[in-house]
């Protein structure tokens, strides 16, 4: 057992796994082992865990549902932290929704709709957690977290707990201040509006049908690989560069949606990274646009 695993077990931090492969925890089904995977059982245990890791100078990162994440084939040297069931509570107070960071964003959008509340329909196809969505200002269909979030409870890297508004999170397109300043979202508070249940269900069904027709959901992928550049679409630029169907190893630019890289079977992180670089250089040469990844690379490269 890794020494760090023994230390975290001694802290009674929660479930601790040593040398755990990360591929099963990512939507790409790619990724080598972490030295330690720890799932704190409460907010107090989470704070103690992060404080211990920081005091020892041990690298760590928070793993949600593994979407928009490319983990190195060599894995991650340090601790991977996951939020468990203690962070999955949801409650409704009128038009205000309180959601734990580990709760599925798709499930939350369904629950909100069944309550007759509108505002979260856009999230019905985003395969991540509430915390991950708040972290990156996730969005679709013309809306995003900044439009519905009231505040987020965040454990800062300093060990301080803080409730942050959208303004404090400095939201931009697929970005928040938490990309630069270390912090873990543990709960989010959303403000919805009363709506018609049938209309909400109809909108979500239409979005679902559109995804099924336009996105390669039958294969492991991480959603959109690149951000849409101002005034354009990444998928359009990639397709115009003639890259639809382009493969590197087991990684392929989806013939269905050019901004999706799919794992056709046995793809490695290196395959995906090389294909991403090829897309960037080709689009830069053909259209003069530098595509910015929406995917985070984690681990040893």
Nearest in space to 71 (alpha carbons), one of 260, 298, 273: 298
Q: Is 3 a catalytic residue?
A: no
From the candidates 174, 176, 252, 254, give the one annotated as an active-site residue: 174
* Cβ contact 267:249 at 8 Å: yes
Nearest in space to 133 (alpha carbons), one of 89, 190, 79, 181: 190
Q: How far apart are CA 270 and CA 71, in angstroms?
A: 10
Q: Is 56 a catalytic residue?
A: no
* Cβ contact 38:16 at 8 Å: yes
How far, in Å, are 51, 95, 113, 174 from residue 146 at the CA level? 29, 17, 19, 10
In degrees and rounded to multiples of 5, residue 258 shows phi and psi of -70, -15
Q: Is 91 a catalytic residue?
A: no
Q: How far apart are CA 63 and CA 37, in angstroms?
A: 9
Nearest in space to 165 (alpha carbons), one of 174, 173, 177: 177
Q: Where are the beta strands (DSSP E) in 33-75?
A: 33-40, 60-63, 69-71
From the candidates 67, 72, 224, 254, give the one annotated as an active-site residue: 224
Residues paired with residue 191 on neighbouring β-strands, in sequence order: 96
Residue 213 belongs to what H/E stretch? Answer: helix 197-214
From the candidates 121, 151, 252, 294, give the one annotated as an active-site residue: 294
Catalytic residue set: 174, 224, 294
């Amino acid at each position: 057992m890794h020494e760090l695993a023994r230390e975290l077990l001694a802290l009674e931090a929660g479930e601790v796994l040593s040398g755990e492969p990360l591929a099963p925890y990512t939507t790409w089904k790619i990724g080598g082992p972490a030295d330690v995977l720890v799932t704190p059982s409460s907010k107090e245990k989470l704070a103690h865990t992060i404080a211990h890791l920081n005091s020892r100078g041990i690298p760590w990162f928070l793993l949600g549902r593994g979407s928009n994440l490319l983990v190195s084939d060599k894995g991650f040297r340090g601790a991977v932290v996951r939020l468990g069931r203690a962070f999955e509570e949801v409650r409704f107070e009128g038009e205000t929704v309180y959601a734990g960071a580990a709760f599925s964003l798709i499930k939350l959008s369904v629950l909100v709709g069944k309550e007759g509340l509108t505002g979260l329909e856009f999230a019905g196809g985003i395969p991540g957690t509430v915390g991950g969505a708040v972290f990156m200002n996730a969005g679709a269909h013309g809306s995003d977290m900044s439009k519905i979030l009231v505040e987020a409870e965040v454990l800062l890297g300093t060990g301080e707990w803080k409730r942050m508004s959208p303004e404090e999170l400095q939201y931009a397109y697929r970005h928040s201040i938490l990309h630069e300043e270390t912090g873990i979202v543990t709960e989010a508070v959303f403000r919805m509006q009363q709506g018609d249940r049938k209309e909400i269900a109809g909108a979500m069904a239409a979005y679902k049908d559109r995804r099924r027709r336009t996105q390669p959901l039958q294969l492991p992928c991480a959603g959109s690989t690149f951000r849409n550049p101002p005034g354009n679409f990444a998928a359009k630029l990639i397709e115009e560069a003639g890259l639809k169907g382009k493969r590197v190893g087991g990684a392929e630019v989806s013939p269905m949606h050019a901004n999706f890289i799919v794992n056709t079977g046995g793809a490695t992180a290196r395959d995906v990274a090389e294909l991403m670089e090829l897309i960037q250089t080709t689009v830069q040469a053909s259209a003069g646009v530098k595509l910015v990844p929406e995917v985070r690379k984690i681990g040893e490269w």
